[in-house]
Amino acid sequence: MVDKKLRFNELFDKHYAKVFRLCKGYFNGSEALASDSAQEVFIKIWESLDSFRGESNVSTWIYRISVNTCLLYLRKQSTKKEKATTVFPPIAAVQYSFEEEDRLQKMYACIQKLEEKDKMTTLMMLEGISYQDISEVVGITQEALRVRIHRIKKNLTQCVQHGNI
């Protein structure tokens, strides 16, 4: 049990922020939904930690749980509204202008226009997750992923510029 707690603490410190941003992107920038769903992801990680046999990278394992949890988070519980979970204010590590904030909002809006699998792929790609991990999370070959990412990059850039995909 002590080992499990130590391991969980380690995973939480290393991956929570990334999972949070992934969920935030999926929920159109909503920090409340991102917070609740990221918590659900880590609750599942805690529950499944004993059964993790290391057949894949631990990061792949975590992103698989994250993607599947976000995907069904709102749909499984249609009554679940955006809860007023307390979220810490942003830590402005770098100067972030209103113009950049505006473009980030445009990015969120454009990501919402993508198909579900493309949405998840985009968010993982933006988070700098390796192509090998993404292909294992989504369940497609790396070749197919490269083609998909090429198309997504083109569409996303076009959408942020012109507002449509």
Partner 1 sequence: METFDELQTIWNRQPNVMGNTSATELMKKGEAHLKKVRAGHWGTIAIISVLIFVLIGYFIGMKVYQLNGLSIGLTLMIVVMIARVVLEWISANRFGSIKPDNSLAEFSAKMQRYYAWRKKIHTVFIPIIYILYIIGFTLLLPAFKANLSHGMYLYCVLSGYGFLTIFAFFLVRILRKEMKLLEFLKALN
Those residues whose C-beta lies under 8 Å from the C-beta of residue 160, and which sit 6 or more positions away, are 103, 106, 107, 110
Tokens of 100: 């950049």
Distances (CA, A) of 62 to 13, 23, 86, 138, 147: 13, 13, 24, 13, 24
* CB atoms closer than 10 angstroms to residue 100: 11
CB of 165 to partner 1, least distance (A): 14
Q: Are 5 and 50 in contact (CB under 8 A)?
A: no
Helices 58-76, 131-138: axis angle to 10 degrees equals: 40
Q: How far apart are CA 140 and CA 16, in angstroms?
A: 25
CB of 75 to partner 1, least distance (A): 5
CB of 127 to partner 1, least distance (A): 8
Which x/- pattern, by CB under 8 A, does the window 82-121 give for partner 1? ---xxxxxxxxxx-x---x--xx--x--------xx--x-
Which x/- pattern, by CB under 8 A, does the window 12-51 give for partner 1? xx--xx--xx--x------x--xxx-xx--xxx-xxx--x
Q: Which is nearer to partner 1, 112 or 161 (CB)?
A: 161
Site for partner 1 contains 137 (CB under 8 A):
yes
Residues that bind partner 1 (CB under 8 A): 5, 8-9, 12-13, 16-17, 20-21, 24, 31, 34-36, 38-39, 42-44, 46-48, 51-52, 61, 64-65, 67-69, 71-72, 75-76, 78, 85-94, 96, 100, 103-104, 107, 116-117, 120, 126, 136-140, 153-154, 156-157, 160-161
